Amino acid sequence: MRMQYHKHGVPLSATRALGETRAFLEPLLQGRRRVLDVGCGQGELAQALAWAGHEVTALDVKLPMAPAPVPGLTWHEEGFLTFESEPFDAILFVTSLHHLSPLADAVEQARRLLVPGGLLLVEEFALEAPDATTARWYYGVQELLAAAGRYPPERITGDASMDPLERWRHAHEHEPLSEGRRMREEVGRRLELLDAREGPYLYRYLVAGVAEAVGGDIQLMESLSAQLFEAERRDVASGVLKPVGLRLVARKP
């Protein structure tokens, strides 16, 4: 399916998640010129930060076929563990650190590529975080959206007869992924961990599926995205759901 785009070339599936990510990162990046975005994907965040005035290096093992020419943005198609560069003022891992292995080597590489006082900023999900109630909520929302024609049924993994927690684990066993607790431990072992907090994350998966189903209906997409985010945020805050999102802020001494 052809990807649908919103203003400034940002895919519809990324608009809500990108806004939440920017709200987390941008205050921390004030005054930090050189930024490395590891696992940049389609480059939505890297482009936004470059337009905001940062000198951004966007790194991924597979870049978009035609990376956007944005002033202040440099693209590199390469693995992080072998990447060489002058040190950066900040390094970002947005849903990418959990894929890197060995994890200890990835964090050590990040430490090496930071200037003294540089920041490592991580926005991730904790694979081990959901309990049965949280997993049941997640799959239940997908199934309700699919029944309403607002979510592609083929994106739903497993079936409703499975134990929800086993269903979650089965969906993520296709490759080795680092758990949230391990990412926090490795970052804290090599850098000064300034902040670690949990929050909503599952809405990101849901919004990506909704974007496929609603096509170019921007108003509907934004409305559903806001409702999904708020539903998860509210239930996490009340203790009904476990927080799956993980944000880490660390500094190189």
CB atoms within 10 A of CB 205: 18
Question: Is pLDDT at 214 greater than 90 in this prediction?
Answer: no
Question: Is pLDDT at 31 greater than 60 in this prediction?
Answer: yes
164 CB contacts (<8 Å, ≥6 apart)? 132, 135, 136, 138, 139
Residue 215: band (very low, low, confident or very high) from pLDDT cuts 50, 70, 90: confident
| Widest CA span in the chain | 52
Question: Is pLDDT at 6 greater than 60 in this prediction?
Answer: no
Domains in the chain: boundaries: 7-251
Q: Are the CB atoms for 115 and 89 separated by under 8 Å?
A: yes
The tokens of 12 are what? 């519809």
Question: Is pLDDT at 192 greater than 90 in this prediction?
Answer: yes
The tokens of 133 are what? 């109630």
Give the tens place of pLDDT for each residue, 72-120: 999 999 999 999 999 999 999 999 999 999 999 999 999 999 999 999 9
Residue 14: band (very low, low, confident or very high) from pLDDT cuts 50, 70, 90: low
Residues 182, 86: Cα–Cα separation, whole Å: 28
Report phi then psi at 230, rounded to 5.
Answer: -65, -35
Closest CA to 210 of 196, 191, 229, 193: 229
Residues 85, 88: Cα–Cα separation, whole Å: 8
Average pLDDT of the chain is 91
Question: Is pLDDT at 1 greater than 50 in this prediction?
Answer: no
Write out the DSSP string of 30-87.
TT--EEEEET-TT-HHHHHHHHTT-EEEEEESS--SS----TTEEEEES-GGG---S-
Distances 149 to 12, 14, 128, 146 between C-alpha atoms, Å: 17, 20, 30, 5
> How far is C-alpha 141 from the chain's CA centre?
20
Residue 5 has what DSSP assignment? B
3-state helix, strand and coil shares in percent for the chain, rounded to the nearest 5: 45, 20, 35
Closest CA to 56 of 78, 71, 39, 41: 71
Q: What is the pLDDT of residue 138?
A: 98
Q: What is the pLDDT of residue 36?
A: 98
Give the tens place of pLDDT for each residue, 118-158: 999 999 999 999 999 999 999 999 999 999 999 999 999 99
Beta strand pairing call for 245-251 and 114-125: antiparallel
Residue 4: band (very low, low, confident or very high) from pLDDT cuts 50, 70, 90: very low
Residue 12: band (very low, low, confident or very high) from pLDDT cuts 50, 70, 90: very low
Residue 5: band (very low, low, confident or very high) from pLDDT cuts 50, 70, 90: very low
- In 3-state terms, what secondary structure has residue 107? helix
Task: Say whether domain 7-251 belongs to CATH 3.40.50.150.
Answer: yes
Q: What is the pLDDT of residue 143?
A: 96
% of residues, the chain, pLDDT over 90 = 79
Closest CA to 91 of 199, 250, 246: 250
Q: What is the pLDDT of residue 220?
A: 87
Q: pTM of the predicted model, to two decimals?
A: 0.91
Question: Is pLDDT at 7 greater than 80 in this prediction?
Answer: no
